[in-house]
Amino acid sequence: MTQDEATRDRVVRVADELFYTRGVQAVGMDAVRAAAGVPLKRIYALFGSKDELILAVLRHRMSVWDAGIAAEAERAATARDRILAIFDFLDAWFREPDFRGCGFINAFGELGAASPAVTEAVREQKSTFQEYLARLVAETGAPADLAPQLAILAEGAQTTAAISGTPEAARQARAAAVTLLDAAIHHAGDLVPG
Amino acid sequence: MTQDEATRDRVVRVADELFYTRGVQAVGMDAVRAAAGVPLKRIYALFGSKDELILAVLRHRMSVWDAGIAAEAERAATARDRILAIFDFLDAWFREPDFRGCGFINAFGELGAASPAVTEAVREQKSTFQEYLARLVAETGAPADLAPQLAILAEGAQTTAAISGTPEAARQARAAAVTLLDAAIHHAGDLVPG
DNA sequence: TACCTTAGAGAACGCACGTTCTCAGCGCAA
DNA sequence: TTGCGCTGAGAACGTGCGTTCTCTAAGGTA
């Protein structure tokens, strides 16, 4: 890793934490400079603008999220357990003291109306997650319709936990996921009785 | 309605639309003045500060939301159908051309970190919704655990629809709600088979 | 040592915006 | 008619912040 890459990485990590904790617009570039210990001139040489830094932060957060989900999932043996591991992952995350909701949803609410690039980045991370879920659902043999339903549960759990300030949404979403999985697998191919 | 009340109402409605469409921080007080046709001096006499205006807007949006849900629900005969009517309500909302997600979730993402008052207002509207759902669930005879699960589906559908830009999350969440309702009512009191 | 390039620290600039102030006009009591 | 309080329109003020500029110091090369 070159010096530039190391500095870039450091700035992105620091900015990510600040943006997530306080909100993007509430954090000035000077706060990033102070926290990263990197001169403004250097930051602007590396990123060009705050908007570019924001996108770099979103990309970084996306890779961290993907790695975290994958790490939690690979400890489970079956696809069904890997799906449920996602909700255990959420549970642990919600209990972290500085949990403040999904950074992508927050960024979308804050900047999505004004920035198509932010919207695009957020949309990309959500669709990556949905595709991951779709693969797991396919492995279980359940109908493909199940995947977006589980994704909606995961999204809802994140906002509910953030706003309520409690982690219980993870457990509730997990229970719902179990019900949906059981219904999809046990009754696969059946019509819902009237 | 006094003159003051009418002007307050006008300013709140206009600000609500601007805040929702462009984001709260992206809308200056001067834009509110121009759109409402009310002098800044008058706005500040009525609200005191932008922060107060934001809270008034959130309160207004909460009452509109509650009324909208209630209007859609009262057309249904049974508690089960009133629950499902919520998802039909979401479906219609998601198809509106200027739909941009849940205004409360967006406001939380944008301002929650900096403003406890905003967090409190958002939390209040979510808990009002959860209580409403809990009453409907109780009417169906399903276990109380079902209510937060349905709430999570509704939340997740809103963020998913906002970010994806498509309304299909409403249909998917509704299908999941049907499965959860059926499972809760058919198997009420049972243990999940191993 | 003398010179050139580069980087760091912080001041400076320009702009946007929340809030307040100024001033002109208008209704109204005597 | 003559003041007087109120209101509207917009200028003005202070501040914060994204971005750029300036100055100084250091490091490498003849």
- Flag if B109 and A109 touch (Cβ within 8 Å): yes
- Nucleotide minimizing C1' to CA distance for residue A33: C9
Output the tens digit of pLDDT for each of chain A's 194 residues.
677 788 999 999 999 999 999 999 999 999 999 999 999 999 999 999 999 999 999 999 999 999 999 998 889 999 999 999 999 999 999 999 999 999 999 999 999 999 999 999 999 999 999 999 999 999 999 999 999 999 999 999 999 999 999 999 999 999 999 999 999 887 654 444 43
The per-residue pLDDT for B194 is 38
The Cα–Cα gap between B180 and B153 comes to 10
Which band of pLDDT confidence, cut at 50, 70 and 90, is reported for residue B6?
confident
Q: What is the mean pLDDT of chain B?
A: 93
The Cα–Cα gap between B187 and B29 comes to 55
**Residue A105 C-alpha, separation from nearest chain B C-alpha, in angstroms:** 7
Q: Which chain B residues are closer than 8 Å to A21 by Cβ?
A: 113
- Flag if A111 and B23 touch (Cβ within 8 Å): yes
Chain B stretch 128-187, residues whose beta carbon is closer than 8 A to a beta carbon of chain A: 145, 148-149, 151-157, 159-160, 162-165, 168-169, 172-173, 175-176, 178-180, 182-184
Tokens of A109: 């609410």
**Residue B37 backbone class (left: φ over 0; alpha: ψ -120 to 50; beta: rest):** left
Answer yes or no: is A51 CB < 7 A from strand D: yes
User: What is the DSSP secondary structure assignment for residue A115, as one 8-state letter?
Assistant: -
The per-residue pLDDT for B191 is 45
φ and ψ of A188, to 5 deg: -55, 130
The Cα–Cα gap between A150 and A177 comes to 6
- Flag if B164 and A108 touch (Cβ within 8 Å): no
Q: Does B189 touch chain A (CB under 8 A)?
A: no
The per-residue pLDDT for B187 is 61
Give the number of A-B residue pairs with CB atoms closer than 8 Å: 168
Residue B167 has pLDDT above 60, yes or no: yes
Residue B71 has pLDDT above 50, yes or no: yes
By Cβ distance, the residue of A123, A126, A152 closest to B153 is A152
φ and ψ of A132, to 5 deg: -60, -45
Under 8 Å CB-to-CB from A173, ≥6 apart: which residues? A87, A90, A153, A154, A156, A157, B149, B152
Return positions of chain C under 7 A from a protein CB.
7-11, 16-22
Tens-digit pLDDT profile for residues B22-66:
999 999 999 999 999 999 999 999 999 999 999 999 999 999 999
Distance CA B16 to C1' D16 in A: 25
The per-residue pLDDT for B145 is 96
Taking CA–CA distances from B166, the nearest residue in chain A reads A123
The per-residue pLDDT for A73 is 86
Burial of B151 (0-12, 13-18, 19+ CB in 10 A): buried
Average pLDDT over residues B174-179: 98
The per-residue pLDDT for A187 is 61
Quick check: B169 and A154 in contact, CB under 8 A? no
Average pLDDT over residues B127-147: 96
**Residue A156 C-alpha, separation from nearest chain B C-alpha, in angstroms:** 3
Radius of gyration (C-alpha) of chain B in whole angstroms: 19
Tokens of B132: 């409403």
**Of A86, A58, A91, A62, whose CA–CA distance to A74 is shortest?**
A86
By Cβ distance, the residue of B26, B123, B153 closest to A153 is B153
Tokens of B2: 């006094």
Distance CA B98 to C1' D17 in A: 31
Tokens of B111: 């301002």
The per-residue pLDDT for A188 is 52
Distance CA A5 to C1' C6 in A: 18
Q: Does B109 touch chain A (CB under 8 A)?
A: yes
User: For chain B, which domains are there?
Assistant: 1-48 (1.10.10.60), 62-186 (1.10.357.10)
Answer yes or no: is A44 CB < 7 A from strand D: yes
